[in-house]
A and B are shown apart, each in its own frame.
Chain A
Amino acid sequence: MNLTLKVWRQANSESKGKMETYQIADVSPDMSFLEMMDVLNEQLMTQGIDPIAFDHDCREGICGMCSMFINGEAHGPDRLVTTCQLHMRKFNNGDTITIEPFRAKAFPVIKDLTVDRSAFDRVQQAGGFVSVNTSGNTQDANAIPIDKHDADKAFDAATCIGCGACVATCKNASAMLFVSAKVSQYSLLPQGKVEATERVMNMVKQMDEEGFGNCTNTGACEVECPKGISLENIARMNREYLYASLKG
């Protein structure tokens, strides 16, 4: 199929960006979206145009590095996929596709479609861990049985890939879904409960300092999350935060 692509081009974080239009022909429906971008970049290079910069690595939907805003949706029109797993069969011959970076104050553009999401790392560094040393001198792994339902819920929260689709989708650029997933994972497990109070306070504080917006419960993040992280986690984090605040 033949497509018209409108792509955000921005040389670096300081320069002003704008949309550029490119044509691409003979796109196979079996291509992934990023493979289509590879073909476009090869084409641009033969024309002497700088190839489009975009983040990507594993190309199997798990590393969380790819991050495009396609036709107004994070990771494009398909549900429960990252951009790398979006396939061109979701588009039609003659379509015009608009491709932008994930936009948020806390995610400055580095170049074209590449953004800086290190704010997420800093939120995790503020408390996204269990304070246990890695000596291996812990108790036996089966010493504390964990209710299967809690373990499963913790796992579901832990499947967040840190891509930032929730932030890019939210009209307030809130990171609540991302932060709450980590807070929930640990608060559901006995190993994480011990420092739950400090964790939620520190992570929320860092989240605010990074310039993420507030949550107004629109639920858009959940819809666009490629891993289906549930809004339930935000509710759980709010409870944890309230409890921590009252506890002082």
Chain B
Amino acid sequence: MAKLDSKIPNGPISEKWTSHKGKINLVSPANKRLIDVIVVGTGLAGASASATLAELGYNVKTFCFQDSPRRAHSIAAQGGINAAKNYQGDGDSTYRLFYDTIKGGDYRSREANVHRLAEVSTNIIDQCVAQGVPFARDYGGLLDNRSFGGVLVSRTFYAKGQTGQQLLLGAYSAMNRQIGRGKIKMYNRHEMMDIVVIEGKARGIITRNLVNGKIERHGAHAVVIASGGYGNVFFLSTNAMGSNVSAGWKIHKKGAYFANPCFTQIHPTCIPVSGDHQSKLTLMSESLRNDGRIWVPKNLKDVNLIREGKLKPTQIDEKDRDYYLERRYPAFGNLVPRDVASRAAKERCDAGFGVNKTGEAVYLDFASAITRYGEEQVHVKGLDSSDKNLVKKLGKEVVKAKYGNLFQMYEKIVDQNPYETPMMIYPAVHYTMGGIWVDYNLMTTIPGCYAIGEANFSDHGANRLGASALMQGLADGYFVLPYTIGDYLSDDIRTGPIDIQHPEFEKAEKEVIAQIDAFLNNSGKNSVDFYHKKLGKIMWDKCGMSRNEKGLKKAIKEIQDLREDFYKNINVPGNANEFNEQLAKAGRVADFLELGELFAKDALERTESCGGHFREESQTPEGEALRDDKKFTFVSAWEFKGAPSKAKLHKEDLKYEEIEVKTRSYK
């Protein structure tokens, strides 16, 4: 295939998007009615794209595997969404958001895409407020902001700890309006099984109705993949149980390059694993680091007493605590970016300072925030500031108003009251910066097939800053794709409806059915979860927070062996024509077993450390990630060649014209 063409428009960075929009081809309103677009996934990206495409006049068919589009996992995003509104007057600007995002991504994202993201960020907030999204407000009735990791301004808009829910329900409502008007045809409980490519163009998909098992063909002039990330390749992650890579992996196997698969975000503040039964991990929002202070005991003696249950964290004196983020990174303190905070937690736990039974937990403490807010409140209300109980009570009320639902969630899961004792947290897999390679128009290397939101790779480089995922999902769906897709579809106005009797549909459908039959006819003895858990363990141990050559080579071999065993010994009960969760899961895990290998291969190839990708061989004397800009300032885009081991690497060189590439420092 030809050289990767990112199609970045010419001109100064701040004018690229405007001039590009002004020059690309459009489809007339009358012709839009003749064009069908398929959207797979209904998270922020998929729902907002579906709504906008339908509103523009296209015929949209949207698919989700859940029972309703409102369930998509964007719903679980907690902390907030960034926008360069500068409502706080603290010096924010489009440029600064652009700069922070590039730096946060450790100089491995595409400048032009990130600048566009920063530009449209303000529109998102305007749009959402107009849709009735109830963001947090102050007593003057204006929108409130908070701060997130890796930045020095307050640009994050939020709705308590449920920002993702409120934004997704906003996009869902916009979709509902179009479903009601008949412009979107919604297919709940449908899974995309494959893409159909005819004469080099994406022309439809094959789906399985998860209720009755029916295999269906759907034709369209363009296919948009908005199926989210692949964090569940680790089995345990903060993703939803059903989150999967299959839509992305299927298009990869049909020609879409997969970019930077090893760029994974390990989020520093999640509830630690409690046992082997664990099915998923729960995030505690990064917003908590606005007020929570992270620490472990300074002395190993205290650590041991805590593990034995003989000492409580609240009994440890200030002088015996190690607020290690404040110690190591005085400028950003507890609000360093996620990759940095995660590695710092691992470093302390590896050194033996972990505070739970497994030794894999650190404290996130709100005591000083409660006191600080309490003192402010007694001052505002003119009450007795020497009354410690009153200060604490009022302080707790403030903290509850800010993070109430998160504290409740923590208490339900861990059975401890975080207002009284520090939370215990540990890093967990949360987000994947890597994904399907797309050009500036968000088109993959299959003409007519697009990837948006977490499913693509373009905006977050090697590490995503907090509150940027919601921004990217909605930017892609509301404001970018609906424009850029027209440029491609303008050639399709005479095509007419796609013929789903075409041999390519026939062929794709046959392959799908063959895989289902193979699973059901196999008489193995191991369940799907058995394999998924094994894969997850390989990934976490060898491709997790820190990676090295030996481990990665071993991981590749182990995944290959596991995959072979999977096809020999998998047991999938039931039949094809019913609601069969095990069957659906088997197909997803089969794809994870291939992706996992490519992931490890990509991590092996990139011998530098950058962002969330930490190669032990490449670190500074202080243990910080050490980039190798000379060799690795590029996007790894992998082409499928029959098996993950044969994948061919293409490089998209990253050019930094606006921003000087520097060592990322948060000290």
Q: Does A85 contact B (CB under 8 A)?
A: yes
By the criterion CB–CB under 8 Å, are A118 and B277 in contact?
Answer: no
CA distance A134 to B127 in the complex (A): 7
Q: Does A126 contact B (CB under 8 A)?
A: yes
By the criterion CB–CB under 8 Å, are B75 and A85 in contact?
Answer: no
By the criterion CB–CB under 8 Å, are A134 and B48 in contact?
Answer: yes
By the criterion CB–CB under 8 Å, are A124 and B573 in contact?
Answer: no
Collect the chain B residues with CB atoms within 8 Å of residue A55's CB.
67
Q: Does A87 contact B (CB under 8 A)?
A: yes
Chain B residue at minimum C-beta to C-beta distance from A124: B176
By the criterion CB–CB under 8 Å, are A125 and B180 in contact?
Answer: yes
By the criterion CB–CB under 8 Å, are A124 and B129 in contact?
Answer: no
Partner of A81, one of B72, B172, B412: B412
Number of chain A residues whose Cβ lies closer than 8 Å to a Cβ of chain B: 78
Partner of B160, one of A42, A155, A191: A155
Q: Does B142 contact A (CB under 8 A)?
A: yes
Collect the chain A residues with CB atoms within 8 Å of residue B186's CB.
121
Collect the chain A residues with CB atoms within 8 Å of residue B578's CB.
11-12, 111
Collect the chain A residues with CB atoms within 8 Å of residue B134's CB.
151, 154-155, 158, 185, 189
By the criterion CB–CB under 8 Å, are A62 and B68 in contact?
Answer: no
Q: Does A216 contact B (CB under 8 A)?
A: no
Q: Does A28 contact B (CB under 8 A)?
A: yes
- The prevalent SS among residues of A at the interface is loop
Q: Identify which of residues 276-292 in chain B touch chain A, using a CB-to-CB cut-off of 8 Å.
A: 277-280, 282-283
Q: Identify which of residues 113-140 in chain A touch chain B, using a CB-to-CB cut-off of 8 Å.
A: 114, 116-118, 120-121, 124-136, 138-140
Q: Chain A nearest CB: distance from B343 CB in Å? A: 25
Q: Chain B nearest CB: distance from A1 CB in Å? A: 13
By the criterion CB–CB under 8 Å, are A124 and B132 in contact?
Answer: no
By the criterion CB–CB under 8 Å, are B138 and A148 in contact?
Answer: yes
Collect the chain A residues with CB atoms within 8 Å of residue B582's CB.
45, 51
Q: Does B10 contact A (CB under 8 A)?
A: no
Q: Does A80 contact B (CB under 8 A)?
A: yes
Number of chain B residues whose Cβ lies closer than 8 Å to a Cβ of chain A: 83
Collect the chain B residues with CB atoms within 8 Å of residue A151's CB.
134-137, 141
By the criterion CB–CB under 8 Å, are A120 and B279 in contact?
Answer: no
Q: Chain B nearest CB: distance from A239 CB in Å? A: 19
Segment with Cβ contacts to A, from B117-125, B147-155, B261-269, B293-301: B117-125
Collect the chain B residues with CB atoms within 8 Å of residue A114's CB.
579
Q: Chain B nearest CB: distance from A235 CB in Å? A: 19
CA distance A71 to B71 in the complex (A): 26
By the criterion CB–CB under 8 Å, are B120 and A136 in contact?
Answer: yes
Q: Does B621 contact A (CB under 8 A)?
A: no
By the criterion CB–CB under 8 Å, are A64 and B174 in contact?
Answer: no
Collect the chain A residues with CB atoms within 8 Å of residue B216's CB.
none
Q: Does A208 contact B (CB under 8 A)?
A: no
CA distance A78 to B413 in the complex (A): 12
By the criterion CB–CB under 8 Å, are A12 and B579 in contact?
Answer: yes
CA distance A116 to B135 in the complex (A): 31
By the criterion CB–CB under 8 Å, are A142 and B143 in contact?
Answer: yes
By the criterion CB–CB under 8 Å, are A89 and B415 in contact?
Answer: yes
CA distance A95 to B513 in the complex (A): 44
Collect the chain B residues with CB atoms within 8 Å of residue A65's CB.
66-67, 71
Q: Does A59 contact B (CB under 8 A)?
A: yes
* Given A63-B240, A146-B137, A148-B139, CB of A38 within 8 Å of CB of B277: yes
By the criterion CB–CB under 8 Å, are B413 and A85 in contact?
Answer: yes
By the criterion CB–CB under 8 Å, are B165 and A62 in contact?
Answer: yes
Q: Does A201 contact B (CB under 8 A)?
A: no
Chain A residue at minimum C-beta to C-beta distance from B529: A42
Chain B residue at minimum C-beta to C-beta distance from A57: B240
Collect the chain A residues with CB atoms within 8 Å of residue B569's CB.
none
CA distance A111 to B584 in the complex (A): 15
Q: Chain A nearest CB: distance from B415 CB in Å? A: 6
Q: Does B113 contact A (CB under 8 A)?
A: no
By the criterion CB–CB under 8 Å, are B241 and A57 in contact?
Answer: yes
CA distance A64 to B73 in the complex (A): 11
By the criterion CB–CB under 8 Å, are A145 and B478 in contact?
Answer: no
Collect the chain A residues with CB atoms within 8 Å of residue B282's CB.
59-60
By the criterion CB–CB under 8 Å, are A85 and B409 in contact?
Answer: yes
* Given A45-B571, A62-B76, CB of A191 within 8 Å of CB of B129: yes
By the criterion CB–CB under 8 Å, are B141 and A35 in contact?
Answer: no
Collect the chain A residues with CB atoms within 8 Å of residue B274's CB.
28, 30
Mark B158-198 against chain A: 1 for CB-CB distance below 8 A, else 0. Answer: 01101001100100111011011000001010000000000
By the criterion CB–CB under 8 Å, are B173 and A63 in contact?
Answer: no
Q: Does B51 contact A (CB under 8 A)?
A: yes
Partner of B581, one of A34, A51, A120, A136: A51
By the criterion CB–CB under 8 Å, are B68 and A117 in contact?
Answer: yes
Collect the chain A residues with CB atoms within 8 Å of residue B72's CB.
63
Collect the chain B residues with CB atoms within 8 Å of residue A134's CB.
48, 51-52, 55, 127, 131, 174, 478
CA distance A56 to B584 in the complex (A): 14
By the criterion CB–CB under 8 Å, are B479 and A159 in contact?
Answer: no
Q: Does B527 contact A (CB under 8 A)?
A: yes
CA distance A48 to B283 in the complex (A): 36
Q: Does A192 contact B (CB under 8 A)?
A: yes
CA distance A135 to B127 in the complex (A): 8
Collect the chain B residues with CB atoms within 8 Å of residue A139's CB.
126, 130
Partner of A140, one of B126, B571, B573: B126
Collect the chain B residues with CB atoms within 8 Å of residue A141's CB.
85, 125-126, 128-129, 135, 143
CA distance A36 to B278 in the complex (A): 10
Collect the chain B residues with CB atoms within 8 Å of residue A53's CB.
579, 581
By the criterion CB–CB under 8 Å, are A35 and B176 in contact?
Answer: no
By the criterion CB–CB under 8 Å, are B140 and A145 in contact?
Answer: yes
Q: Which of A31, A117, A121 has the most CB of B within 10 A?
A: A121
CA distance A140 to B176 in the complex (A): 24
Q: Does B497 contact A (CB under 8 A)?
A: no
Q: Identify which of residues 546-596 in chain B touch chain A, using a CB-to-CB cut-off of 8 Å.
A: 571, 573-574, 578-579, 581-582
Chain A residue at minimum C-beta to C-beta distance from B181: A125
Collect the chain A residues with CB atoms within 8 Å of residue B142's CB.
142, 145
* Given A136-B479, A142-B142, CB of A60 within 8 Å of CB of B409: yes
Partner of A85, one of B67, B166, B412: B412
The 9 closest A-B pairs by CB, nearest first: A145-B141, A136-B123, A129-B173, A155-B134, A138-B130, A141-B129, A125-B180, A111-B579, A57-B240
Can you list 7 pairs linking A and B with CB atoms under 8 Å apart? A45-B527, A63-B70, A125-B180, A129-B174, A130-B130, A134-B478, A158-B134
Binding site for B on A (CB under 8 A): 11-12, 28, 30-32, 34-36, 38-39, 42, 45-46, 48, 50-51, 53, 55-65, 78, 80-81, 85, 87, 89, 110-111, 114, 116-118, 120-121, 124-136, 138-142, 145-148, 151-152, 154-155, 158-159, 161-162, 185-186, 189, 191-192
